[in-house]
Structure 1
Amino acid sequence: MKPEPRPGQMPQGNVTGVVILGGAHGTLALARSLGAKDVPVWLVSTDTPLPGWSRRIRHKFDWPGPDDPNAISFLLDLAQKHGLAGALLIPGGDGEVRLVSQSIEALSPAFKIMLPSWDQLKFVCEKPLLYRRATELSVDIPPTYRFTSTEEAARAAIRFPVVLKPNMGGGGSELARAKVIRADDLASFDPVFQRAADEIGLDNVVVQELIPGGGEGQFSYSALWHDGKPVAEFTARRARQYPVDFGYTSTFVEVVDRPDAVDAARRLLTSIRHEGLVEIEFKRDARDGALRLLDVNPRPWSWFGLASAAGIDLGAMIWEIANGRDPGRQKTPRPGTAWMYLVRDMVSAVILISRGKLGVGDYLRSFGAVRAWATFSASDPLPGLLDIPVTAWRVLTRRILRLPARGSAGLAARNHPER
């Protein structure tokens, strides 16, 4: 008899396919990567319909979302009713990551899972724990404030400007929708901090000193880990983003060599014995040259498609590992290879050009490096064709009219996968 796997460890045996929970552009790229290998892919989502339009998705299931009290029962019933037992379960959004990681023991009879249990993963997902762990490991972070009351925050000697962020991604609150809110002085900080504390709780509001600069100084470490070690990894620069000052989604990303990001990421992920996909965001502080840790995303990220374009097919590799096979040696990523989210990058470019931070010629030349697009694919055209009206609708309803997302209830009810 084979021994039972410990939490976070995959049981042995062939995988029947892949079930992806939530996500947007990263989920779409992962589905395309797996589908190119004839891997059956099913999508379970309560958010954007974008990945479900891909011909690589066998079937899309709607569900009540990761914050629903019956979410685990729903997934177990889904596996039983639709013959999905034995599939690899990959969370595509922040709320889904927490749900799966916290419920590995309950889900393992039906699914295979490549993710650490929550008692490990929380140290990189919950920002106060993340920054504490980073400090212990001598990984630089932005100066961060902790307050025990709103009154204490109003009296504190804060070095402005600062940004306010939720403890973990997801949710329908003002702060969760914006992802980052800037405050340049106490007069603008007090009302925003008070509203955020009332909506999601004081302990869930992170206040950090703003690192100057835009996407040109923002770098990412992206990888697949197995048994607490990297299987494949590379670094990239988030050259443009939307909004341009601190974007909630990347718009132009290119492969670069950042050994300091690799070193910091390895220290952090080794400390939790990471398993699965991960993207870690850093920003270079031009004032002292330090590379400061911002966020960790243990799921497919928006520009996930850049990996295969650069010669590192993370989707194919995770499939091989899930089936107990050798994924092969990592190829050297092709420097300068780029990914673009065309619709939003055009907006970002116009703003940067108007500010004198980007030349028209430089913008046009950047198209020559693009080898992967957020939605467009000649072999899978429908998501690219429908992305423009869907993006316009989401901006109107969620950014302008401020309507709540369907199924949102609390901080973790809705994921924000577009990073």
Structure 2
Amino acid sequence: MNNKAVILGSNYYIGLSTIRCLGEHGIHTVAVDYSTKNTYAADSKYVSEKLVVPHYKEDPAGFIRYLKDYASMQSAPPVLIPCHDNYVEVIDEYLEELRESYLIPQTEKGIYTRLMNKEMLERAAIEKGVAVPETVRVDEEDYLAKVAQTIKYPCLVKPSDSPAFVAKFRRKLFKVYYEQELVEAVEKSRQAGLEVIVQRIIPGFDDHMYTFDAYLNQESKVTHWVTCQKFRQYPINFGASVYTGQKYVPELYEIGAKFLEDMKYKGFAEIEFKKDAETGKFYLIEVNVRITNLNVLLNKAGVNIPYITYRELTGSPVEPYAVKKDTNLVFWYAYEDLLAIKGYLKTKQLTFGQVFKSFFKPKAYAIWDWRDPKPAFSFLSITLGKMFGKNSRG
């Protein structure tokens, strides 16, 4: 295989799992980042090459030029795989230009952005008949009255542009309990130049969160899929997966596959749903259009998304496959899960017995792999460094 795999982002375990998923099949992997600081994924034994590139936000034109120059020196077009939302945004903006040099699943500019932007996603979901939480826009007339009447408190203030919001506030959203808090959250967002919407909280504990993870081929047909159930998140209640299990839920395929196929989507996507604890109805919460946090779990369950992507784009597709049983496997990001457990126990949302029992399931570890241990030791070194005030990334 002459096509290299260029993996964007090596300072997080998503990049690490992507590198491993490809490297274990003998594919030449290129770990790309704008810094050498905290890039523990690049320490994997499966990394064939490392590149330090211009910053995607500070110098996007330089970043794109570097990628194109690199591709021009290769004997075959590399496969481009982003492992962070910010990289996806840049790829979407320069999609036509990058497709001249790289193999990328998506062919239509704007689809990534449409699914990542909360307002655009809500409109697309309603258009396709998929349930989303009731929403009020803050630029509507009498929006405060509408929130009080239709959404009620507490409610969520969510950004249209998640990556920018997280970069600014270090959280995914604001949970507000009364009108004054809502006004303050909206004003804080406005001052940061960020658009927000207000949404109803779908009732149910964190284990009512589910995912539909799928790969769609170049005909926009789902060929591979897995469904999962979250158990713990960090920050608790409105964070990222830290302890999530594979769980076969056919209904999620019925909703998710139709939505993505109707959108003419290509490549990998993960839809997050929440099941209403009172009605049992599934609501679409968000869509991830880059490799998921749960990638290592999907791979262990039999669906290697980076490899499936690579094989299809290089002309030898993998046979379609879906995980239509419960494997009992769980994804575990130990570092943040321990922080989450502290929060769940403190707020009495979980008991010590429930937490203890959960540790005995077979695991897909976010970072640790006995066949490739160096990244875990690098991560430990970085974490200890942060505790003592060193190793922060610019």
Give 2:228's aligned residue: 236
Moved more, 58-67 or 229-238: 58-67
2:31 is paired with a residue whose SS is strand
State whether residues 171 and 177 of structure 1, in contact with CA within 8 Å, keep that contact through their aligned partners in structure 2.
no
Give 2:378's aligned residue: 386
State whether residues 338 and 369 of structure 1, in contact with CA within 8 Å, keep that contact through their aligned partners in structure 2.
yes
Give 2:298's aligned residue: 307
Call closer, same or farther: CA 1:322–1:257 in 2, change over 3 Å.
Answer: same
Residue 45 in structure 1 maps to residue 49 in structure 2: no
Question: C-alpha distance in 1, partners of 2:346/2:98?
Answer: 51
State whether residues 54 and 60 of structure 2, in contact with CA within 8 Å, keep that contact through their aligned partners in structure 1.
no
Give 1:8's aligned residue: none
1:122, CA displacement in angstroms? 3.1
Structure scoring higher RCO (CA < 8 A, sep ≥ 6) equals 1
Question: C-alpha distance in 2, partners of 1:375/1:266?
Answer: 30
Residue 180 in structure 1 maps to residue 180 in structure 2: no
1:216, CA displacement in angstroms? 0.9
1:325, CA displacement in angstroms? 1.1
Residue 101 in structure 1 maps to residue 89 in structure 2: no
Question: C-alpha distance in 2, partners of 1:393/1:208?
Answer: 39
1:329, CA displacement in angstroms? 3.7
Match of 1:170 among 163, 166, 186: 163
Call closer, same or farther: CA 1:169–1:74 in 2, change over 3 Å.
Answer: farther
Match of 1:196 among 186, 189, 197: 189
Q: How does 1:266-285 map to 2 (within 5 A)?
A: 266-285=257-276
1:377, CA displacement in angstroms? 0.3
Moved more, 84-93 or 301-310: 84-93
- Cα RMSD over matched residues? 2.6
Calculate the TM-score normalised by the size of structure 1: 0.84
Write out per-residue CA displacement over residues 29-61 of structure 1, whole angstroms, 9 at most, x where no aligned residue.
111010000101112223751322222222332
Question: C-alpha distance in 2, partners of 1:162/1:392?
Answer: 37
State whether residues 225 and 323 of structure 2, in contact with CA within 8 Å, keep that contact through their aligned partners in structure 1.
no
Call closer, same or farther: CA 1:310–1:173 in 2, change over 3 Å.
Answer: closer
Give 2:64's aligned residue: 72
Amino acid at match of 1:58: S
Write out per-residue CA displacement over residues 185-204 of structure 1, whole angstroms, 9 at most, x where no aligned residue.
11212122111112124xx2
Question: C-alpha distance in 1, partners of 2:231/2:48?
Answer: 34
State whether residues 165 and 176 of structure 1, in contact with CA within 8 Å, keep that contact through their aligned partners in structure 2.
no
1:326 is paired with a residue whose SS is coil
* Structure 1: gaps of 5 or more residues: 1-13, 398-402, 407-419
1:165, CA displacement in angstroms? 2.1
Moved more, 128-137 or 112-121: 112-121
Question: C-alpha distance in 2, partners of 1:25/1:246?
Answer: 20
1:209, CA displacement in angstroms? 1.6
Question: C-alpha distance in 2, partners of 1:125/1:391?
Answer: 30
Residue 17 in structure 1 maps to residue 4 in structure 2: yes
Q: How does 1:95-134 map to 2 (within 5 A)?
A: 95-134=86-125
* Structure 2: gaps of 5 or more residues: none
Residue 28 in structure 1 maps to residue 21 in structure 2: no
2:189 is paired with a residue whose SS is helix
Question: C-alpha distance in 1, partners of 2:3/2:147?
Answer: 56
Percent identity, aligned pairs only? 23
State whether residues 255 and 333 of structure 1, in contact with CA within 8 Å, keep that contact through their aligned partners in structure 2.
no
Call closer, same or farther: CA 1:234–1:157 in 2, change over 3 Å.
Answer: closer
Question: C-alpha distance in 1, partners of 2:118/2:110?
Answer: 14
Write out per-residue CA displacement over residues 151-189 of structure 1, whole angstroms, 9 at most, x where no aligned residue.
955565432112222213322667552111111111212
Match of 2:127 among 131, 136, 140: 136
Aligned length: 383
Residue 357 in structure 1 maps to residue 349 in structure 2: yes
Moved more, 257-266 or 384-393: 384-393
Write out per-residue CA displacement over residues 110-166 of structure 1, whole angstroms, 9 at most, x where no aligned residue.
2111124223333322211111111122211111111227x9555654321122222
Call closer, same or farther: CA 1:188–1:395 in 2, change over 3 Å.
Answer: farther
Match of 1:222 among 204, 210, 213: 213
1:246 is paired with a residue whose SS is coil
Question: C-alpha distance in 1, partners of 2:147/2:135?
Answer: 12
Call closer, same or farther: CA 1:49–1:153 in 2, change over 3 Å.
Answer: farther
Question: C-alpha distance in 2, partners of 1:385/1:190?
Answer: 45
Q: How does 1:144-159 map to 2 (within 5 A)?
A: 144-148=135-139, 153=143, 157-158=147-148, 159=152
Amino acid at match of 1:25: Y
1:326, CA displacement in angstroms? 3.1
1:178 is paired with a residue whose SS is coil
Moved more, 225-234 or 110-119: 110-119
Call closer, same or farther: CA 1:180–1:15 in 2, change over 3 Å.
Answer: farther
Match of 2:369 among 377, 383, 403: 377
Residue 60 in structure 1 maps to residue 53 in structure 2: no
Give 2:310's aligned residue: 319
